[in-house]
Structure 1
C-alpha cells in the first residue's frame, strides 16, 4: 500500500517532466496506431488504407515509420491521417525509371472531390528523397487538393525533378513549418532573348485547380486560404514559393510567409499572385535571381505567370483594399538572371475592356474561357512595404506599377555594383492603364544607384523624410506626375541633378538638395512651388526652370554655381 502511494506521485511527476520538456510523441499523441519498422512498402500501403477506413476527426490515425522506406508506386493519403517519420529516416522515391507524375497525393485521381473535402492530414519528420535517376521524367513529391487542415512539419524534401516538392490547390488551412526544401533539378530555360532566363518550377507551388496536372478532383473556383509557411529553408531551387498561373477574379487570402530563408534560387524566392490580406515578413532572401513578386493578374509573356478567365464561373474583379504587408525582409541579390529581376516587383493594372491574349482552355477540364483579363481595376490596393533591407548589384531594386492607396516606408536600399549602369533604387513607372495613385514613400534610405528614384505617369505621390545619397546621375527623375516632397534629403549627385523633372506638377517642402553636379532642381514644362529647405553647393543653379516657372519662398540658397550666387534660372 505504501509502495502504491509513492508510485502515483512518481508517475505524476514524470508526466509533468515529459510535458515540460516536450517528450510527447507528436501533438499530444501518446501512442501510434501502427509502426512500420521493417521498411516494407506493402505494409506502409496497408497502413494508409487502414487510416482511410479507421481514422476520424476525433481519432487521427497515426502511422510511425522507423526505418528507411522505398516507394515503388504513387501513394494516396486520405483524411484523418498522420505520418510520423523518425529523424534521419529516408522515404525514397523508387518508381520505375521514366515514370513521372506524383509520388504522394491526397485523394485519388479521377475522384469527384470538390471544395475542401479531405481533412486533418499531417506529415512530420524524416527525409523525403526524390532519388532522381538519369531516365526519370518530371514529378511532384506531394500533391494536395481540395483539403483543409493539412500540415507538413520538421522534415526535409529533396532531389525533385522538374516538378514541385509540394503542390497545393484549393486548400484551407495549410501549415508548413521547419521544412527544408533543397536540390531541385530543373532545366533553366532561355526566353526569346537568350540573355533573359526564367525558371517555372516552384518548390512550393500554391496553385489553382484549372488543369489535370494541378487538380485531383473537380475543377472549381475554390482557392488556397489560411496558409502559413514559417521557419523553412529553401536551397538550390528553381523558384521558392508561388505559382505561374492564376484565375482572374479568384484570390488567395490570409497567406503568411514568415521567418524563412531562401538561398541559391535561380528565379524568384516568393511569387504572390492575386493575394489579399496576406503577410510576407522577416524572410532572408540571399543569392537569388529575384526576390519577391507581388502581382494582380499578369500576362504570361514575361515568363512569370499566365492569367486565365473561366467563362462559366461568373467571377468579378475585386478592387477593394486588401491590406497586405511586405516587411522586415532581408534581400541580397548579386547575380540577377533576368532583365525582369527585381528585389521587389509589384504589378497591377486597370483594364477598360476584357483582354483576350489566347482563346480557349485545356479541353480536358471541360471549361470554357481564355487567357487574359476581366474588365476592371486590377491595381494593387492597400499594400504596405516597410522596414526591408535590400542590397542589389546590376539591377533595379524595387519596381512599382499599377498601385494605389499604398505605403513604401522605412526601407534601406543599397546598390553595390557599377554606378554607371542605368539602374534605380525605386522605379514607379506606369502607363495610363496602370496609373500609380495616392502612394506615400516615407523614411527610406536609398544610396549608390545610378539614379535613386524614377517616378512617371503617377498622381498624388508623396515623398516624406526620404534620403537619397551618392547617385551617379540624378537622385530623382520625374515625368508626367503630380508629386510632393516633404522633409527629404538629396545629397551628392555626381554628374547631374538633385531632381530632374518633365511635364509635372511639383511641390517641395523643407527639402534639402546639396552637392549636385549641375542643378539642384531642374524642371522642363513643370509647375510648382519650393518652400523652405536648403539648396546648396550645386554646380550650375539651385533651381533651373525651363518653359514654365517654379516659384519659391523661404529657401536657403548657398554656394550655387561658379560665383556661388546662381540660385534661380528661368529659361
Structure 2
C-alpha cells in the first residue's frame, strides 16, 4: 500500500499590472510521481519565480524525476526507491535542452531525503552546466554500475552532510560515489547529438564537506581528464570514508585543491593527487585522457594545493585495482618530453603542494606517502606507522618514496615500521635531486632508514635514524650532505656510502650500530667526515 506524499508548494508570484496581485502560496497533497513531477514542472519553461516543493513519505519510482532552475526540493522524511534500470533517479533539466556554459541551470537546492537505487543500474543523480547547487543532508544508497552523484561543467556546488552507501559493479569497474566528470561525449553521453553541450566547461568552486562514504567502490573525485584543462577550487574536507574498497579521494588535474581533515578508515587506498594520468607502460596511451573538442592544451602550474590533517588507515580489500601499488597518499606528475597522440609536450610535474599533519596507518603492502614527479613541494609533520607484521608480499614497500622529483622538502615526518618485515626502507629517494630532509625520524625498516639511489641528491640534517635491520643511512650512486643527525642501534653500519656516491658527514652522533659507525667503500667518491661523536659501534668508528 502506497503511503500518501504530502507536497507543499510555496510559489512567490510577482505580477506587474494595473491592478496588481499579492504573493500566493499553494498547498496540495499528491500520491503519484506524475503529480510530483507536475509540481516540479512549474519551473520547466519559466523559472523566474522561486519554487519550493516539499515531499514526505515513501515512493517507488518508475521513471526519473526532473528538477529545474530556482527550485528548492525539500525531501526530509521522504524515501524514493528506484524500480527501473539505467536512467538516473533525479536529473537537472532535460537532455534535449542541450545546455551549455556553467549556469544554464542555476539555484537548485535539495534538502534531505533517501534516494535508494535498489541495486538497479545507473547513477542516482546526474547534472551538468549548472551553478549554485546545494545538496544537504540526503542519503544516496545501493547504486549499481553507476555513481551516486556525477556532475560536469558546474560552478559553486555544495554537497554537505550527505551519506553515500552501498555500491556494486558487474564488470568490476571501480566507480566513485561522487564523480567530478568532464563533458566528453563518449564518456558523458547524456547530451549525445547535442554538440553545443560538449563545450569543455570545467567544474569550478566545488565544496564536498562533512559527508559520510561507506561501503562504496571509491569515494569522491575524477579519473577522466581533458589533457591540459583543469578543474579549479575544489574543497574535499571533513568527510568520513569507511570501508571504501578503492581510494577515498582522487584529484586528477585539479588546481587549488584542498583535501583536509578527512577521516579515512579501513580503505584500500587513501588520497591520490595527479596532474596527468600515468601510462601503464611506455608504449601505451594514457588511460581516461581526452582532447577537448579535438584540442589538447599545455599544462598549467598549480600555485597552491594542500592535503592536510587527514587520518588514514589502509587495509587489504577486495578491490582488484588496489592489489598493485596502493598508498596512503600519492602524488604523481611528469615531464612529457615530446608531443603525444593526446598530451602535449610540457612540464606536468606536481608543484607547490603541501602535504602536512596527516596520520597514516598501513596494514597491507602500501607505501605511506608516494611522490613521483614533484617539484617545489613540502611534505611535513606526517606520521606513518606500519601495523601488520603477519602480512606477506613480494612488492617493495616504503614509508616515504620520492622519485623523479626535485626541490622537495621532507620535514619533521615520522616513519615507524615497527619491524613489519615487508617494508624495505623508511625513506627512499630515487632519481630525485636537490631535495632537503630535515628533522625526520625513521625506525624499524627491513633494510635502511634513509636510502638514496640512482643519481639522487639531498641535504639530510637533524634526522634521527634508528633500529633498522641493515644500515641507518645508505647512499649509492648519489650525493648526500649529512649533518647534525643521530644514527643509532642499526644492525648494519650507521652511515654507508657505496658505489660512486659522494658528499659529507658533519656534526653527527653515531651510536650503538652493530657494524661500523661510518663505512665509506672503496667504490665511493669523495666523502668528507668531520666533528663526529662515536659511541658503542661494534665494528668501530669509521672505515674508508
TM-score, normalised via structure 2 length: 0.87
The within-5 A match list for 1:44-443 is: 44-56=36-48, 59-87=49-77, 89-95=78-84, 99-116=85-102, 117-132=104-119, 136=120, 138-187=121-170, 189=172, 199-214=173-188, 216-217=190-191, 218-299=197-278, 301=280, 306-310=288-292, 312-313=294-295, 315-318=297-300, 320-336=301-317, 337-356=322-341, 372-394=342-364, 395-418=366-389, 422-429=396-403, 435-443=404-412
Give the aligned length.
500
Deviation at 1:561, TM superposition (A): 2.5
- In the alignment, the residues of structure 1 paired with residue 361 and residue 480 of structure 2 have an alpha-carbon distance, to the nearest angstrom, of 30
- In the alignment, the residues of structure 1 paired with residue 449 and residue 443 of structure 2 have an alpha-carbon distance, to the nearest angstrom, of 7
Cα distance, 1:60–1:311 mapped onto 2, change above 3 Å: closer
Give yes or no for contact 1:200–1:304 (8 Å, CA) kept in 2. no
- In the alignment, the residues of structure 2 paired with residue 38 and residue 113 of structure 1 have an alpha-carbon distance, to the nearest angstrom, of 30
Give yes or no for contact 2:448–2:474 (8 Å, CA) kept in 1. yes
Give yes or no for contact 1:39–1:70 (8 Å, CA) kept in 2. no
Cα distance, 1:452–1:173 mapped onto 2, change above 3 Å: same
2:405 corresponds to 1:458 = no
- In the alignment, the residues of structure 2 paired with residue 248 and residue 169 of structure 1 have an alpha-carbon distance, to the nearest angstrom, of 16
1:553 is aligned, of 521, 530, 536, to 530
Q: In the alignment, which residue of structure 2 is the partner of 1:368?
A: none
Give yes or no for contact 1:47–1:63 (8 Å, CA) kept in 2. yes
Q: In the alignment, which residue of structure 1 is the partner of 2:3?
A: none
CA deviations on 1:290-342 (whole Å, 9 max, x unpaired) are: 11111112146499952223364452211x24310000000001215421211
Give yes or no for contact 1:244–1:304 (8 Å, CA) kept in 2. no
- In the alignment, the residues of structure 2 paired with residue 74 and residue 389 of structure 1 have an alpha-carbon distance, to the nearest angstrom, of 42
Give yes or no for contact 1:38–1:67 (8 Å, CA) kept in 2. no
SS at match of 2:267: coil
Deviation at 1:92, TM superposition (A): 1.6
CA deviations on 1:516-559 (whole Å, 9 max, x unpaired) are: 11111111121101110201111111111122232111111112
SS at match of 1:471: coil
Deviation at 1:207, TM superposition (A): 0.5
Deviation at 1:44, TM superposition (A): 0.8
- In the alignment, the residues of structure 1 paired with residue 28 and residue 474 of structure 2 have an alpha-carbon distance, to the nearest angstrom, of 70
Name the Cα RMSD after superposition: 2.3
Structure 1 residue ranges, 4+ long, deviating more than 6 angstroms after superposition: none
Cα distance, 1:293–1:34 mapped onto 2, change above 3 Å: farther
TM-score, normalised via structure 1 length: 0.83
CA deviations on 1:331-376 (whole Å, 9 max, x unpaired) are: 00121542121111110010011223xxxxxxxxxxxxxxx42211
- In the alignment, the residues of structure 1 paired with residue 71 and residue 141 of structure 2 have an alpha-carbon distance, to the nearest angstrom, of 23
SS at match of 1:540: coil
What are structure 2's unaligned runs of at least 5 residues?
A: 1-7, 13-22, 192-196
SS at match of 2:432: strand
CA deviations on 1:66-117 (whole Å, 9 max, x unpaired) are: 2222222133222111100123x2012223xxx3122221121233311111
Give yes or no for contact 1:299–1:306 (8 Å, CA) kept in 2. no
CA deviations on 1:153-179 (whole Å, 9 max, x unpaired) are: 011011111101100000001100000
Q: In the alignment, which residue of structure 2 is the partner of 1:9?
A: none
CA deviations on 1:471-526 (whole Å, 9 max, x unpaired) are: 23211111021101111100111x21001111111101101100111111111121
Give yes or no for contact 1:386–1:411 (8 Å, CA) kept in 2. yes
Cα distance, 1:44–1:26 mapped onto 2, change above 3 Å: closer
Deviation at 1:265, TM superposition (A): 0.9
CA deviations on 1:436-469 (whole Å, 9 max, x unpaired) are: 0100000111101532011000111101111012
What are structure 1's unaligned runs of at least 5 residues?
A: 1-24, 190-198, 357-371, 430-434
- In the alignment, the residues of structure 1 paired with residue 220 and residue 144 of structure 2 have an alpha-carbon distance, to the nearest angstrom, of 16
Q: In the alignment, which residue of structure 1 is the partner of 2:456?
A: 481
- In the alignment, the residues of structure 1 paired with residue 350 and residue 45 of structure 2 have an alpha-carbon distance, to the nearest angstrom, of 46
Give yes or no for contact 2:489–2:512 (8 Å, CA) kept in 1. yes
Q: In the alignment, which residue of structure 2 is the partner of 1:447?
A: 416
Moved more, 552-561 or 378-387: 552-561
Cα distance, 1:114–1:414 mapped onto 2, change above 3 Å: same
- In the alignment, the residues of structure 2 paired with residue 250 and residue 241 of structure 1 have an alpha-carbon distance, to the nearest angstrom, of 19
- In the alignment, the residues of structure 1 paired with residue 538 and residue 24 of structure 2 have an alpha-carbon distance, to the nearest angstrom, of 82
2:501 corresponds to 1:526 = yes
- In the alignment, the residues of structure 2 paired with residue 33 and residue 224 of structure 1 have an alpha-carbon distance, to the nearest angstrom, of 35
- In the alignment, the residues of structure 2 paired with residue 32 and residue 399 of structure 1 have an alpha-carbon distance, to the nearest angstrom, of 60
Give yes or no for contact 1:143–1:168 (8 Å, CA) kept in 2. yes
- In the alignment, the residues of structure 1 paired with residue 400 and residue 176 of structure 2 have an alpha-carbon distance, to the nearest angstrom, of 27
